Structure 1
Amino acid sequence: MNIFKRFWKSLYSPADIASFRNDKIRKSIVYIIVLSFVTFLPLAYFTNVTTKNALKVGEETITNEIPNFKVTDGKLVLTDKNAKNIPISIDQDELHIYFDASGTLDKDDVDNKIASYDSAVAFLSDSIYITAAGVSQSVSYDTAGISDKADLVHLYNSIESLAKYFIPIALLVLFIFTLGSVFFRVALYALFGFILSGFGRTGIAFRQNWMIASYSITLAAVFTMIMEALQIIVPFGMEINMVVSMIFVFLAIRSIPPSEPTILEK
């Protein structure tokens, strides 16, 4: 059975998943890599779009819209006497930029102002807060090497020139971490199946539980991919995926006749 048929069967049939348990382990490894890559595509797409949208803001917009400032003891201080010390908002489609030296805004305020999958760069009174595709990161001005507006413009120019190299590398690193987390979860589900099968006493070895777990993640992975493609954040999404995958492992093990002989493919 080729990988596409295995994928289709794994979406709904624990019995078919159980029948894959005696295959060569390299088949499960290839399957996990391919499945992880396909489900990673929506995240990669939105990360790429978000980064490009951020770069569209441009040096001119930053120069014209953000007042002169300096960083003193890690805090934003306005040096433009004509500028009012109030939060400034710059909206560019799904990208939002905030500048606030007054300390009025915080991270929660920024999150509440934008939609779930919109992106924002906020220059808060004590740090730079970046959020994109549901992932957030806060960086101090000292860490970013920003002491005034000129440093900010210089940092932007540097990022813009390196973006064509940085984006593919960042996506590759992100995919490697994603793939590692998938293998880790498969190992946990395999251990769960091994415990259910009486630590191998029923004739189902850990290796076979690994094979079952490899295909049991399919439905949860596809669900996650669809939600990310639709830009919908599902509450307790990770927990739901774990429960669904474990149910598939449980049903697959239950579908194996106790007296069925085990023949491992070498």
Structure 2
Amino acid sequence: MNIFKQFIKSIYSPKDIAKFRFQGIGKTILYVFFIMLLSIIPGVIYITKLAYTVLDEGQQIITHDIPSFSIHNGTLFSKEKKPLIIVKNDLTVLFDSTGSIQENDVQKGGTVIALLKHTFIFKSDGKTQVMAYSTLENQNLNNSNIQSFLRSLQGVMWVGIPVLFIFYYLMTAAGGFIKISIFALFGLLLAIRLEKKVNYRQSWRLTAYSITLPSVFFTIMAALKTTVAGAIYIDWIITLIVMLLSIREIPSPKKTSV
């Protein structure tokens, strides 16, 4: 059975997952790499799109929409007397050299870039990164050198995105292998409880295919940009349930009569 048929079977058939416990470890490892690759696709697409949007629209905003400014001694200076809010597609830029807007005020949805009096804030996908200008170590910034920096970033995107993708993939795969190795121990406990003859290597293979259903579910949720409350617990529960159902499909050893 090829890897794609195994993928389909692993979504709905604990009986087939139970049969996969006898296959070669190399094929199982290849399957794990396949599942991990599938799971990061929405994230890679989102990050790529976000990077191009921020760089392209960021250059336009710096050039045409934001007044002249400078950053030195950890403070943003400009002649603007009130905060500016600039919205372009899903990107919102807040510019405030007056100190009226504080970090806690940056609550808008979507992607937000905020140039505030003393801090730079980047918010995307519910995650917020904050950097104080004081960390720039007395470097002076203004519209011109930020424009040059954004142009240089745009020029190396074709190198940066693949490198980021490979790093992200390797980290995700490493996490997947660690998860499978830990849950395989739970598989042994379930096998003992159900009086099934399963060793650790077989439990590892069963676990590798049991993560298919939760992986597909969370990949779809990521593609829909839907946050799942308690995602890690749902992931664990679904994985354990699929493992339990798969182990139950394994024939029990015959008991010898005395």
Aligned length: 253
Change over 3 Å in CA distance of 1:113–1:79 after alignment to 2 = closer
CA distance in 1, matches of 2:85, 2:28: 49
Per the alignment, residue 130 of structure 1 pairs with 122
Amino acid of the structure 2 residue aligned with 1:240: I
Is 1:47–1:132's contact at 8 Å kept on the other side of the alignment?
no
2:232 to 218, 231, 238: 238
Per the alignment, residue 177 of structure 2 pairs with 183
CA distance in 1, matches of 2:136, 2:166: 23
Per the alignment, residue 131 of structure 2 pairs with 139
Change over 3 Å in CA distance of 1:138–1:198 after alignment to 2 = farther
1:100 to 96, 99, 102: 96
SS in 1 for 2:121: strand
Comparing 229-238 with 218-227, which one deviates more in the overlay? 229-238
Gaps of 5+ in 2: none
Deviation at 1:187?
Answer: 1.5
Q: Percent identity?
A: 31
1:157 to 145, 151, 154: 151
CA distance in 1, matches of 2:156, 2:37: 25
- TM-score of the aligned structures, taking structure 2 as reference length: 0.86
User: Deviations along 1:116-143, whole A, 9 cap, x unmatched?
Assistant: xx32222233332223344443334355
Is 1:68–1:148's contact at 8 Å kept on the other side of the alignment?
no
CA distance in 2, matches of 1:227, 1:164: 28
Deviation at 1:155?
Answer: 2.2
Per the alignment, residue 31 of structure 1 pairs with 31
Gaps of 5+ in 1: 261-266
CA distance in 2, matches of 1:90, 1:171: 30
Amino acid of the structure 2 residue aligned with 1:79: S
Q: CA RMSD in A?
A: 2.6
Per the alignment, residue 211 of structure 1 pairs with 205
Change over 3 Å in CA distance of 1:202–1:104 after alignment to 2 = farther
Comparing 185-194 with 146-155, which one deviates more in the overlay? 146-155
